[in-house]
């Protein structure tokens, strides 16, 4: 036997040398096909497990990437065959020699790092908890069990760390209310490993040396008409149906597709043909499946669902109802609830309201599906909306709870990407944009008003408020009813500014009028205003009344800089006031401006509020949870 | 929250025109406050130029 210090061993089956790159891995696949495990530092033996049969995934041995600023390389993987899915745990080695798993499957990418719980947890409790219930797994942090799964087959490739190789491996997926995730893997009874799971988008990994060639898939004969059927995304696809005869088939024993009935209405009324390619949310997808489903409730609503596939981003779904389109993808970071249904959930400070919950049956199918689509009536669906977004939870007794995030896709965008005869829109779509919560309208309007006020106050703080004239003029009684005066010259220094005239006259049941003429001493340009002061009061029909004011304010606005003088002329009726006061201030703030701009600003929110309430009423018409009342 | 409120995936997308309106009104208010423009006085204030209305002469 060769030295193990260097990581070199000899394959017990073919005698060829095999070398481990990492000190922490324990399983390697020899070029002869034997799967070898080093038990102790100086011992190696062959173990019985399968080598990955369908290995043409996007990630491959030799793929490199970056995570948290650390470069890594993929050196091998094990693949779990679960109840209705398969999932890859790639062993990655970082530039500093450490390792962890990169989980990948169905477009969900996550790093799995061995976790140490900071408190003692009964392993039986981890296993006993039922989906949807929570337990304390970290100090002061409760986790809800989302799903339990059992592993029926393990396949391996390259060099990897495989803690144990037993039968009856089980997985338990927990998520905390704080958004943390833990996966427990029970390798053999009594041996449970905890992994901290961190979901991330594929683009964040900066992956290089990836395999972009199409999946080879699996060729089968239709169990009905014996036509050749190609399951393009096998082993991820778990069921399908023949486009010709409508025979349905599901994956059994991880190897063969068995017939599970036939489409009752095999009309294949696809608006987008299978094989079509289009881009949604920046991802290029191919349509690989189609289903027409019906709600099992009093509404019996029917909708069409298209299965999309991208080798890098996995599966997505397009749901169409009344010409409105919703694009959905399974998510790892999801809302965490310990009971369903709830009337409302909050995710990332956004409130989603329960719109519908139902079970469904599948009427017609074509192509392939990443889950067993034919287990009608066993999946309970909960839809929470905050248009144009939604969260959909699918609860399945076998798989637990799966969350999908959905977004409205406009018909224009759909026609642009899938130029086929798509149905035209009718009614208000579940996620059709245009919904703005009244609370949000109020909040945004309040912020905008606050901003206007702030701007107004800041500018007013820098106004000159320079008093140019502050005097009282006296008019002798029984002389002329007018008085004129010319002021000294003064300078207005600002590019443009206003003059505020505060006029006071002790009028009582009569009037006074001031004409002010501002003359530019150099150019002769004139700016003039007239302002009356009137005050009337009396006693009529047992009630006293008064109108007008003894003080008035007038403005000369936007006066250019220059040297000016004022020509003033006061007029009054015979027997009118004997004096009046005038104060002229340059560069003052005009608060009326603020009020009118606030009024103009309020037009949009008021109109929007009326539209929103009307539209929402129509949107919720088909929901059993509508907060609105309807006349019919 | 995405900053570009003209993109559909931004939380402020439904408010895009309101934000534009608020920006325009803020600019107008700034101009009015700075130059002493009283938007109510447009029909009160009279103005003459010493050179007259600009009629033709030799």
Question: Residue A599's CB: how many other CB atoms inside 10 A?
Answer: 9
Please give the residue of chain B at the shortest CA–CA distance from A437: B14
Residue with tokens 């600003």: A601
Q: Which of B15, B22, B48 sits opposite A601 (nearest CB)?
A: B22
Please give the residue of chain B at the shortest CA–CA distance from A531: B44
In angstroms, the separation between the Cα of residue B14 and the nearest Cα of chain A is 6
| Residue-wise pLDDT tens digits, A432-491 | 987 777 888 999 999 999 999 999 999 999 999 999 999 999 877 666 788 899 999 999
- A5 pLDDT above the threshold of 70: no
Inter-residue long-range contacts of B41-48, CB under 8 Å, 24+ positions, other chains counted: B41/A529, B41/A554, B41/A555, B41/A556, B41/A557, B44/A529, B44/A530, B44/A554, B45/A527, B45/A528, B45/A529, B45/A555, B45/A556, B45/A557, B46/A527, B46/A528, B46/A529, B47/A525, B47/A526, B47/A527, B47/A528, B48/A525, B48/A526, B48/A528
Complex ipTM more than 0.95, yes or no:
no
pLDDT band at A400 (very low <50, low <70, confident <90, very high): confident
Q: Residue B40: its chain A contacts at CB < 8 A?
A: 592, 596
> Is the distance from CB of A74 to CB of A389 less than 8 angstroms?
no
Beta bridge partners of A138: A141
- A549 pLDDT above the threshold of 90: yes
Mutation to test the A interface, candidates B5, B9, B29, most A Cβ within 10 Å: B29
Cα–Cα nearest to A95, from A123, A67, A115, A76: A67
Beta bridge partners of A355: none
> Is the distance from CB of A79 to CB of A52 less than 8 angstroms?
yes
Q: A419 to each of A269, A317, A413, how far by Cα in Å? A: 16, 18, 10
Q: Residue B25: its chain A contacts at CB < 8 A?
A: 452, 597, 600-601
For residue A111, what are its two tokens? 């790093």
- A365 pLDDT above the threshold of 90: yes
| Residue-wise pLDDT tens digits, A57-67 | 999 999 999 99
The pLDDT value recorded for residue A244 is 87
Residue with tokens 């608020």: B22
Chain A residues 169-228 with CB within 8 Å of chain B: none
In angstroms, the separation between the Cα of residue A434 and the nearest Cα of chain B is 6
The pLDDT value recorded for residue A12 is 87
Please give the residue of chain B at the shortest CA–CA distance from A528: B46
Beta bridge partners of A403: A393
Q: What percent of chain A has pLDDT over 90?
A: 71
> Is the distance from CB of A290 to CB of A318 less than 8 angstroms?
no
In angstroms, the separation between the Cα of residue B57 and the nearest Cα of chain A is 20
| Residue-wise pLDDT tens digits, A267-298 | 888 999 999 999 999 999 999 999 999 998 88
> Is the distance from CB of A517 to CB of A526 less than 8 angstroms?
yes
DSSP A255-283: TEEEEEEE-SS-----SS-TT-EEEETTE
For residue A614, what are its two tokens? 């009307």
Mutation to test the A interface, candidates B10, B13, B33, most A Cβ within 10 Å: B33
Cα–Cα nearest to A572, from A630, A532, A613, A527: A532
Please give the residue of chain B at the shortest CA–CA distance from A589: B33
In angstroms, the separation between the Cα of residue B16 and the nearest Cα of chain A is 11
Q: Which of B25, B35, B44 sits opposite A601 (nearest CB)?
A: B25
Q: Residue B14: its chain A contacts at CB < 8 A?
A: 433-436
Average pLDDT (A572-597) is: 92
CA A142/CA A173 separation, integer angstroms: 13
- A2 pLDDT above the threshold of 60: no
> Is the distance from CB of A616 to CB of A608 less than 8 angstroms?
no
Return the CATH architecture of domain A470-588.
Sandwich (2.60)
Please give the residue of chain A at the shortest CA–CA distance from B45: A529
In angstroms, the separation between the Cα of residue A389 and the nearest Cα of chain B is 9
Q: Residue A532: its chain B contacts at CB < 8 A?
A: none
Cα–Cα nearest to A112, from A198, A176, A180: A198
The reply to whether A565 touches chain B by the CB within 8 Å rule is no
Inter-residue long-range contacts of A593-597, CB under 8 Å, 24+ positions, other chains counted: A593/A456, A593/B29, A593/B32, A593/B33, A593/B37, A593/B38, A593/B39, A594/A452, A594/A453, A594/A456, A594/B29, A596/B39, A596/B40, A597/A452, A597/B25, A597/B28, A597/B29
Chain A residues 450-509 with CB within 8 Å of chain B: 451-452, 455-456, 459-460, 495-499
- B55 pLDDT above the threshold of 60: no
DSSP B16-28: HHHHHHHHHHHHH
> Is the distance from CB of A332 to CB of A110 less than 8 angstroms?
yes
- A155 pLDDT above the threshold of 80: yes
CB contact under 8 A, B44 and A529: yes
Inter-residue long-range contacts of A396-399, CB under 8 Å, 24+ positions, other chains counted: A398/A83, A398/A84, A399/A83, A399/A84, A399/A85, A399/A147, A399/A149, A399/A371
Coil, helix or strand for A412? helix
Name the CA radius of gyration of chain A, rounded.
Answer: 39
Residue A440 has φ and ψ, to the nearest 5°, of -70, -40
In angstroms, the separation between the Cα of residue B24 and the nearest Cα of chain A is 10
Residues of B at the A interface (Cβ-Cβ below 8 Å)?
Answer: 8-9, 11-15, 17-19, 21-22, 25-26, 28-30, 32-41, 44-50
CB contact under 8 A, A589 and B49: no
CB contact under 8 A, A455 and B50: no
> Is the distance from CB of A416 to CB of A383 less than 8 angstroms?
no
DSSP summary character for residue A463: -
Q: What is the dihedral of CA A284, A399, A146, A164, to 10 degrees?
A: -100
CA A189/CA B25 separation, integer angstroms: 70
Mutation to test the B interface, candidates A416, A586, A601, most B Cβ within 10 Å: A601
CA A601/CA A257 separation, integer angstroms: 63
The pLDDT value recorded for residue A100 is 94
Query: In whole numbers, what is the pLDDT of chain A averaged over residues?
Result: 91
Q: Which residues contact A448 (CB under 8 A, 6 or more apart)?
A: A601, B18, B19, B22
Mutation to test the B interface, candidates A432, A590, A606, most B Cβ within 10 Å: A590
Q: Which residues contact A409 (CB under 8 A, 6 or more apart)?
A: A280, A318, A325, A326, A327
The pLDDT value recorded for residue B57 is 44
Cα–Cα nearest to A28, from A43, A17, A18, A41: A18
Cα–Cα nearest to A483, from A565, A567, A569, A574: A569
CA A184/CA A41 separation, integer angstroms: 27
Q: In A578-629, where do the E strands start and end?
A: 579-586
The pLDDT value recorded for residue B58 is 40
The reply to whether A592 touches chain B by the CB within 8 Å rule is yes
Task: Please provide the size of chain B in residues.
Answer: 58
Residue A278 has φ and ψ, to the nearest 5°, of -155, 165
In angstroms, the separation between the Cα of residue B19 and the nearest Cα of chain A is 8
The pLDDT value recorded for residue A482 is 87
Coil, helix or strand for A216? coil
Q: What is the dihedral of CA A151, A157, A160, A164, to 10 degrees?
A: 30
Q: Which of A170-179, A208-217, A415-424, B5-14 has the lowest mean pLDDT?
A: B5-14
In angstroms, the separation between the Cα of residue A320 and the nearest Cα of chain B is 19
Residue with tokens 């423009």: B37
The pLDDT value recorded for residue A271 is 95
For residue A153, what are its two tokens? 């087959």
The pLDDT value recorded for residue A504 is 96
pLDDT band at A40 (very low <50, low <70, confident <90, very high): low
């Amino acid at each position: 036997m060769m030295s193990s210090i260097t990581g070199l061993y000899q394959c017990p089956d073919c005698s060829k040398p095999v070398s481990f790159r990492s000190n922490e891995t324990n399983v390697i696949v020899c070029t002869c096909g034997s799967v070898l495990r080093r038990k102790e530092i100086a011992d190696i033996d062959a173990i019985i497990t399968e080598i990955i049969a369908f290995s043409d995934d996007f990630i491959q041995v030799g793929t490199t990437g970056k995570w948290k600023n650390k470069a890594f390389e993929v050196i091998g993987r094990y693949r779990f065959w679960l109840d209705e899915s398969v999932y890859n745990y790639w062993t990655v080695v970082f530039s500093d020699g450490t390792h962890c798993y990169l989980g990948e499957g169905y477009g969900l990418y996550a790093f799995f790092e061995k976790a140490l719980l900071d408190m003692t947890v009964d392993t039986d409790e981890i296993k006993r908890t039922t989906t949807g219930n929570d337990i304390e797994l970290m100090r002061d942090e409760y986790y809800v069990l989302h799903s339990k799964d059992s592993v029926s087959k393990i396949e391996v490739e390259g060099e990897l760390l495989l803690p144990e190789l037993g039968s009856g491996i089980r997985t338990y997926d927990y998520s905390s209310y704080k958004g943390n995730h833990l996966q427990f893997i029970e390798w053999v009874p009594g041996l449970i490993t905890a992994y901290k799971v961190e979901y991330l988008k594929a683009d964040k990994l900066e992956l290089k040396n990836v395999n972009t060639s199409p999946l080879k898939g699996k060729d089968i004969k239709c169990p009905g008409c014996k036509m050749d059927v190609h399951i393009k995304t096998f082993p991820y696809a778990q069921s399908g149906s023949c486009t010709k005869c409508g025979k349905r088939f599901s994956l059994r024993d991880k190897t063969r597709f068995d017939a599970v009935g036939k489409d009752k209405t095999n009309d294949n009324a696809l608006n987008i043909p299978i094989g079509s390619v289009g881009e949604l949310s920046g991802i290029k997808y191919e349509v690989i499946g189609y289903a027409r489903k019906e709600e099992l409730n009093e509404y019996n609503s029917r909708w069409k669902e298209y299965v999309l596939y991208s080798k890098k981003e996995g599966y997505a779904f397009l749901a169409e109802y009344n010409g409105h389109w919703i694009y959905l993808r399974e998510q790892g970071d999801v809302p965490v609830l310990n009971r369903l249904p709830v009337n409302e959930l909050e995710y990332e400070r956004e409130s989603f309201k329960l719109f519908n919950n139902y079970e469904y049956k599948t009427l017609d199918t074509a192509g392939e599906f990443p889950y067993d689509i034919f287990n009608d009536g066993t999946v309970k669906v909960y839809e929470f909306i905050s248009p144009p977004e939604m969260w959909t939870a699918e609860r399945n007794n076998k798989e637990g709870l799966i969350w999908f995030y959905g977004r409205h896709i406009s018909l224009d965008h759909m026609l642009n990407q899938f130029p086929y005869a798509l149905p035209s829109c009718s009614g208000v779509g579940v996620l059709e944009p245009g919904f703005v919560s009244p609370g949000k309208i109020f909040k945004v309007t309040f912020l905008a008003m606050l901003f206007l006020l702030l701007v107004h106050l800041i500018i007013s703080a820098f106004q000159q408020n320079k008093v140019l004239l502050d005097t009282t003029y006296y008019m002798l009684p029984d002389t002329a009813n007018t008085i004129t005066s010319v002021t000294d010259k003064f300078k207005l220094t600002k590019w443009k500014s206003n003059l505020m005239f505060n006029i006071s006259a002790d009028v009582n049941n009569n009037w006074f009028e001031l004409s002010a003429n501002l003359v530019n001493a150099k150019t002769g340009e004139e700016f003039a205003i007239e302002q009356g002061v009137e005050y009337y009061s009396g006693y009529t029909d047992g009630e006293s009344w008064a109108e007008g004011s003894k003080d008035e304010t007038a403005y000369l606005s936007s006066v250019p800089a220059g040297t000016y003088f004022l020509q003033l002329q006061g007029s009054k009726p015979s027997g009118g006031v004997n004096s009046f006061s005038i104060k002229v201030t340059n560069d003052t703030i005009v608060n009326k401006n603020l009020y009118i701009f606030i009024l103009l600003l309020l037009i949009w929110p008021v109109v929007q509020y009326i539209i929103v309430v009307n539209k929402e009423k129509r949107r919720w018409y088909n929901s059993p949870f509508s907060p609105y009342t309807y006349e019919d | 929250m995405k900053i570009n409120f003209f993109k559909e995936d931004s939380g402020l997308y439904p408010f895009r025109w309101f934000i534009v309106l608020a920006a325009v009104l803020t600019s107008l208010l700034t101009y009015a406050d700075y130059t002493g423009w009283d938007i109510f006085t447009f029909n009160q204030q009279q103005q003459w130029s010493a050179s007259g209305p600009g009629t033709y002469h030799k």
